[in-house]
């Protein structure tokens, strides 16, 4: 077992981040992000490059509004708040 760490700073403390305990599986139609400790998973539909860009932004940390914009503009989510809630509940986003 390994321990993942995320360093919080005054600049990123209020941002949403991709959990360090995730595995990402790309396929031709969707991407699955799985929390390695809980086994919970979130399916993300969209082109692989677009999903990878959104996940990269999450790994760097984004504000709530930035994340909502990314989900709507890049992935076509009509209810980004619901997506964020599901991702947080599953431990994918912190």
How many domains, the chain?
Answer: 1
Q: What is the pLDDT of residue 14?
A: 85
Q: Is residue 10 part of a domain?
A: no
Supply the mean pLDDT for the chain. 87
Q: Note whether residue 62 is domain-resident.
A: yes
Write down the pTM of the prediction. 0.83
Taking the CA atoms of 31, 54, 77 and 47 in sequence, report the sign of the dihedral they define. negative
Residue 18 near residue 93 (C-beta atoms within 8 A): yes
Answer yes or no: is 14 within a domain. Answer: no
Q: By residue range, what is the domain housing residue 53?
A: 22-89
Q: Is residue 83 part of a domain?
A: yes
Vertex 35 angle, CA 75 and 65, to 5° = 40
Does residue 9 lie within any of the structural domains? no
CB 41 within 8 A of CB 33: yes
- The answer to the question of residue 43 being in a domain is yes
CA–CA dist 85, 71 (Å, integer): 13
Summarize pLDDT for 18-36 with one digit per residue, the tens.
Answer: 998 999 999 888 899 999 9
Residue 41 belongs to a domain: yes
Residue 38: inside a domain, yes or no? yes
């Amino acid at each position: 077992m390994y321990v993942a760490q995320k360093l919080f700073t005054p600049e990123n403390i209020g941002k949403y981040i991709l959990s360090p305990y995730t595995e990402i599986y790309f396929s031709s139609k969707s991407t699955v992000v799985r929390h390695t400790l809980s086994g919970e998973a979130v399916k993300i539909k969209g082109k692989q490059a677009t999903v990878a860009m959104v996940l990269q932004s999450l790994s760097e940390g984004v504000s709530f509004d930035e994340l909502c914009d990314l989900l709507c503009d890049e992935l076509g989510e009509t209810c980004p708040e619901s997506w964020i809630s599901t991702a947080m509940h599953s431990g994918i986003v912190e």
